[in-house]
Amino acid sequence: MIKLIKAKIIWIMGAIALILIAIFSKGLYFGNLASQSSAPAQNILTEKKNDSPRISTTNPSPLEETIVLPTQSISISFNMPLESIPELRYSIEPALDLKVELSDDKKTVKFTPKKSFELGQGYTLYIKSETKFDGKKTLGPEEKVYHFSTISYRGV
C-alpha cells in the first residue's frame, strides 16, 4: 500500500514537472504576455522618434571617449538614409584626410583614415546639423560631437 502511494506521488510530481517545462518552454508564462502587450507602445514610440533624422549606432560603440587603433575605421549609422556623401557635413580635428564610404542602404557612413591616426592623439569628429537626408530633412538643431583617441606607444 505504501509503495502504491509513493508511486502515485512520484507520478503526479513527474506530470507537474512536465507541465511546467511545457509552459515555460512554449512561452505561455505571464512574462511573455507582458512583453507582447508592451510591444505596440514601443512601436509607437519608435515611429515618433523616426520622424526626424538621428544617429542610431556607432562602431566602435560607444564612440565617445573610446580608444581606437591607428588604422581603424569608424562607422556611424543613422535611422534614415542620407541623400549622398556630398550631403554629409562633417569635420575632424586635428585635420586628417578620411576616406568616406556610404553603405548600400545609405544609412551607414564609414570613415577610414587615408594615413593612420597618430598614436596617442585625441580626435574630435563633428557630424554637422546641416547633414541632409532623403526627404530634405536635416540632422537637427545641434551637431553631434564625438571625442576619441588612439592607443599610445609607450616604447621599450
Q: Are strands 144-150 and 66-68 parallel, antiparallel or unpaired?
A: parallel
Q: What is the pLDDT of residues 76-86, one digit of tens each?
A: 999 999 988 88
Running DSSP on this structure, what letter comes out for residue 106? S
pLDDT digits (tens, 9 = 90+) for 82-137: 988 888 999 999 999 999 999 999 999 999 999 999 999 999 999 999 988 888 88
User: pTM of whole model > 0.75?
Assistant: no
Architecture of domain 55-150: Sandwich (2.60)
Q: Is residue 95 classed exposed, middle or buried when 0-12, 13-18 and 19+ CB atoms within 10 A define those classes?
A: exposed
Domain ranges of the chain: 2-49, 55-150
CB-CB neighbours of 75 under 10 Å:
17
Question: Buried b / exposed e across 78-88, counting CB within 10 Å, b at 16+?
Answer: bbbbbbeeeeb
